[in-house]
Structure 1
């Protein structure tokens, strides 16, 4: 699968605590069209990116209703089988089938689901059971392929033994390098599975927009994330400052440098970038020294969310 760049499809629904600016569907569609025109043809959405009446599936439906000619140009990956109200995954065959059915109902034929992935592994359901259920949906033509999200290297191997896996999505950035040391990246490369890296700019850390906790809007979900808390924020900002110095010397933005680093790890970042920042071996060595000297403090999510990672 050739994927030059990617786009993460969120919702424009109001009233939600979120790390991105609110927008309406028409404005979002213009951005999506521009992204596709610049090569970002891998689109990532979810049934729980927004409430049931206004999540990313509704936005995608709006887009392809207005741009039906783009349906075959986009590789669409959808996450589901997850209850955002209780923060619990449902990897049962019944839960997966219901989730895929809901997604297809919203899309209403305007676009196929090229990849479907359970947003998290259900600890109460063997991964083989979940993948067999997804494989049946592939056979029925309801989804094109099977993806995995936030899984361990062992789970990837177990899943891939049941049915070929089309993509593995994990958080990967200068702030979250775990997939490079826990076997996930190596396993994907070995099995020929595209590694999809979400949050490559670390939930905004690597944009240069935050210099103190007060810079985060009051209703922003980052206010409750462990890595943004006062006391921890100051420690983590040291890495941002160090990366800023490299970016300034290279004549690029911090975000472009961060995304370029993710690409050099053999991953496909969401979101992607249209400007290539070639990193030399010297650059990579310098960045690695920073990562070794300035370890990130705080969990990624904390609480129940953290327990569902790397299963």
Structure 2
């Protein structure tokens, strides 16, 4: 089943851009550009970034995207670019008011310049103080003005998706989904999107790198890595959660693939489990080698393999929240 977003065909796997600019060490342009080009060559032409993916400057991610498409304008029309915004860049609090989302969109467009159109815009979190209908209506006006191509949602519950879709067409829903974050299925987000014909964009499909099996202790993280502040990577939870990684790694070895490839194949299998579902994992990568690994063709999981993984997920409970107590309240808006 081929997938289109805004009338453009997109590959079965997308590409997350966060890691280039939201880490202690920025990725050099030549390395980042090579990875971005390779993703496009693999058909991973759904790019996902954000207005605030930058350290120390929030807009570094947008500026990188601008430089890439300025250098390689031939790729611009083939890539569907989705950018998260709607967040106060000084306080990191969501703001879904009509005035602020317009300001956010205009800032994104300013940094993208003329190099790349803003295909999809999504508020990174739902503002608890502004009805989703108000925010989506404001974004619909921006669509009508031609400032954005379409509207996406992020970190939303099923009810919010329905309310938003009643106001304007929703072109995608971005939610964390992976072998260690299955809440979107359990809470009906996947089935709701399937029913409404909305593609799901699965961010952190590799569990923020944990499911690759290459992170064996907290010392493997660079100083300043934001993952050190997340509950699942805490001292008390880390070793427990490695049990799931080890089980998945063993299964991948039996199948002759990488654990990262098994994790992505497990997500894609859902399209055959949930009628009508279209789901795009967006693993991030900062090197060509990692892009090749994530985008490598992998044989679809059999029903027995999917069931075996399901049994592992029931047996091993992931310890710790997806983020931490300071940010959990803004999930499932």
Q: Please state which band the TM-score falls in when normalised by the shorter chain.
A: over 0.9
Report 1:245-256 matches (<5 A): 245-256=250-261
The CA deviation at 1:220 is 1.6
Report 1:196-235 matches (<5 A): 196-235=201-240
Name the CA distance, whole Å, in 2 between partners of 1:27 and 1:244. 28
Report the equivalent of 1:275: 297
Aligned pairs, number: 307
The CA deviation at 1:53 is 6.4
The CA deviation at 1:54 is 4.7
Q: Give the counterpart of 1:10 among 9, 18, 21.
A: 18
Name the CA distance, whole Å, in 2 between partners of 1:63 and 1:9. 12
The CA deviation at 1:149 is 0.1
Name the CA distance, whole Å, in 2 between partners of 1:287 and 1:87. 37
Structure 2 residue 321 is matched with structure 1 residue 299 = yes
Report 1:257-276 matches (<5 A): 257-266=262-271, 267-271=279-283, 273-276=295-298
Structure 2 residue 61 is matched with structure 1 residue 56 = yes
Report the equivalent of 2:70: 65
Name the CA distance, whole Å, in 2 between partners of 1:243 and 1:194. 26
RMSD: 1.5
CA contact (8 A) 2:137 2:168 kept: yes
Structure 2 residue 48 is matched with structure 1 residue 44 = yes
Name the CA distance, whole Å, in 2 between partners of 1:187 and 1:210. 34
CA contact (8 A) 2:76 2:116 kept: yes
Once structures 1 and 2 are overlaid, which stretch shifts more, 234-243 or 219-228? 219-228
The CA deviation at 1:122 is 0.3
Name the CA distance, whole Å, in 2 between partners of 1:247 and 1:64. 36
CA contact (8 A) 1:92 1:130 kept: yes
Helix, strand or coil at the partner of 1:170: strand
Name the CA distance, whole Å, in 2 between partners of 1:184 and 1:233. 28
User: After the TM superposition, which parts of structure 1 deviate over 3 Å for at least 4 consecutive aligned residues?
Assistant: 51-54
Q: 1:53 to 1:280 in 2, by over 3 A?
A: closer
Report the equivalent of 1:91: 96
Structure 2 residue 128 is matched with structure 1 residue 123 = yes
TM-score, normalised to structure 2's length? Answer: 0.89
Once structures 1 and 2 are overlaid, which stretch shifts more, 236-245 or 51-60? 51-60
Once structures 1 and 2 are overlaid, which stretch shifts more, 186-195 or 208-217? 208-217
Once structures 1 and 2 are overlaid, which stretch shifts more, 112-121 or 84-93? 84-93
CA contact (8 A) 2:132 2:160 kept: yes
Structure 2 residue 308 is matched with structure 1 residue 286 = yes
Report the equivalent of 1:82: 87
Structure 2 residue 37 is matched with structure 1 residue 30 = no
| 5+ residue gaps, structure 1 | none
The CA deviation at 1:12 is 4.5
CA contact (8 A) 1:12 1:54 kept: no
Name the CA distance, whole Å, in 2 between partners of 1:37 and 1:121. 34
Name the CA distance, whole Å, in 1 between partners of 2:235 and 2:58. 35
| RCO higher in structure (CA 8 A, sep ≥6) | 2
Name the CA distance, whole Å, in 1 between partners of 2:295 and 2:307. 22
Report the equivalent of 1:148: 153
Helix, strand or coil at the partner of 2:327: helix
CA contact (8 A) 1:11 1:59 kept: no
CA contact (8 A) 1:169 1:196 kept: yes
Helix, strand or coil at the partner of 2:264: helix
| 5+ residue gaps, structure 2 | 272-278, 284-293
